[in-house]
């Protein structure tokens, strides 16, 4: 731009999710995260969740700050510096858990949901970039759209209770079974390892049984049940750091489809700390090298 600033233009892929909702929710979520939760998300300068514009597509115009990909420096960082990054991410996740989100669903500006009366306003007195009120509306969670799930008519939220949410997840799968000749891919919640049944009758029976017992198998602890925002894709290519101080996170991207779901279904560790060593065989202790005690602390890690 004339003042030296750089922008990033983002246009959704065809498989990004539901038209309008995916873009509208991503913009509102970044605004809320950045300006209410004080987590470094991109600043949005302009956007449209409609294709009726000169671009002919939905788009988001975001800031591009001076930064480097964490991917470029992660492997060279000391363990202390890596710990500082992980500790910062843990602080962000603590902020997510502390935020009061009244329903299960995705965040929007109130003007962008068709029926604000069916949504739930977030209780936040803090101002944002544009002063618009936030609400919880229909979910943009990919499990409601991937593998042709977007083609069935089911309730997509928001949900006031966890029981209604879990019932809708099963109803979604039942609707797909009844509509399509081939079934959507397996999702772990509805059949553990080795339990995927291709027969229609068996699948329907399992899902109906699940709807009957779901309310009895969820955690009783209210903290684990609460609707919680969560960024589920914190890998090194989605995290940017300050070039002069790589332990300082300057921006986190990829907020598309971030939503508020029960904490026990959301919480996970950032993928950047996934164990990448050999797969343990069985449940016995891992054998350590004979000279383990003589190794430096960094080598032991």
159: tokens are 């949900």
**Cα–Cα distance measured from residue 3 to residue 227, given in angstroms and rounded to the nearest whole number:** 41
At 128 the pLDDT is 55
At 125 the pLDDT is 47
Evaluate whether 140 touches 21 at the Cβ level (below 8 Å).
yes
Q: What is the DSSP string of 136-184?
A: EES---GGGTGGGGGGS------BSSHHHHHHHHHHHHHHHHHH-SSPP
Per the listing, tokens 């300006």 go with 35
At 241 the pLDDT is 96
* Nearest Cα residue to 88 out of 262, 251, 263: 251
**Residue 227 phi/psi, 5° resolution?**
-60, 130
* Nearest Cα residue to 93 out of 230, 248, 283, 295: 230
Residue 16 Cα distances to 156, 232, 283, angstroms = 16, 16, 40
**Cα–Cα distance measured from residue 46 to residue 10, given in angstroms and rounded to the nearest whole number:** 11
First to last CA, the chain: 46
10-residue stretch averages of pLDDT, the chain, 301 residues long: 83 90 97 95 96 95 89 93 96 96 95 78 59 88 90 94 96 93 61 61 91 94 96 94 95 95 94 78 79 83 68
* Nearest Cα residue to 58 out of 30, 29, 17: 17
**Cα–Cα distance measured from residue 222 to residue 162, given in angstroms and rounded to the nearest whole number:** 11
**Residue length of the chain:** 301
At 184 the pLDDT is 62
The three-state secondary structure class of 70 is helix
């Amino acid at each position: 731009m004339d003042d030296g600033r750089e922008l990033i233009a983002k246009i959704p892929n065809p498989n990004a999710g539901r038209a309008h909702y995916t873009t509208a929710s991503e913009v509102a979520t970044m605004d809320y995260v950045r300006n209410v939760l004080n987590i470094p998300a991109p600043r949005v300068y302009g956007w449209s969740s409609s294709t009726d514009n000169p671009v002919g597509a939905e788009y988001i115009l975001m800031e591009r700050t001076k930064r480097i990909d964490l991917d470029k420096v992660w492997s060279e960082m000391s363990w202390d510096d890596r710990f500082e990054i992980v500790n910062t991410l843990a602080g962000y996740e603590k902020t997510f858990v502390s935020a009061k989100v009244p329903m299960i669903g995705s965040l929007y500006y109130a003007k962008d949901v068709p029926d604000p009366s069916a949504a739930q306003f977030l209780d936040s007195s803090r101002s944002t970039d544009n002063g618009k009120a936030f609400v919880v509306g229909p979910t943009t969670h990919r499990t409601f759209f991937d593998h042709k799930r977007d083609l069935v008519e089911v309730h997509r939220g928001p949900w006031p209770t966890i029981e209604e949410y879990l019932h809708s997840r099963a109803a979604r799968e039942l609707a797909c079974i009844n509509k399509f000749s081939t079934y959507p891919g397996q999702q772990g919640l509805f059949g553990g390892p080795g339990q995927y049944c291709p027969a229609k009758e068996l699948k329907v029976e399992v899902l109906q049984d699940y709807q009957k017992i779901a309310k009895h198998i969820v955690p009783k602890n209210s903290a684990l049940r609460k609707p919680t925002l969560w960024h589920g894709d914190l890998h090194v290519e989605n995290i940017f750091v300050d070039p002069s101080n790589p332990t300082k996170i300057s921006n986190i991207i990829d907020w598309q489809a971030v939503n508020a779901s029960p904490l026990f279904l959301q919480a996970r560790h950032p993928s950047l700390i996934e164990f990448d060593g050999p797969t343990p065989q069985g449940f016995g202790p891992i054998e350590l090298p004979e000279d383990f005690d003589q190794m430096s602390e960094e080598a032991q890690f």
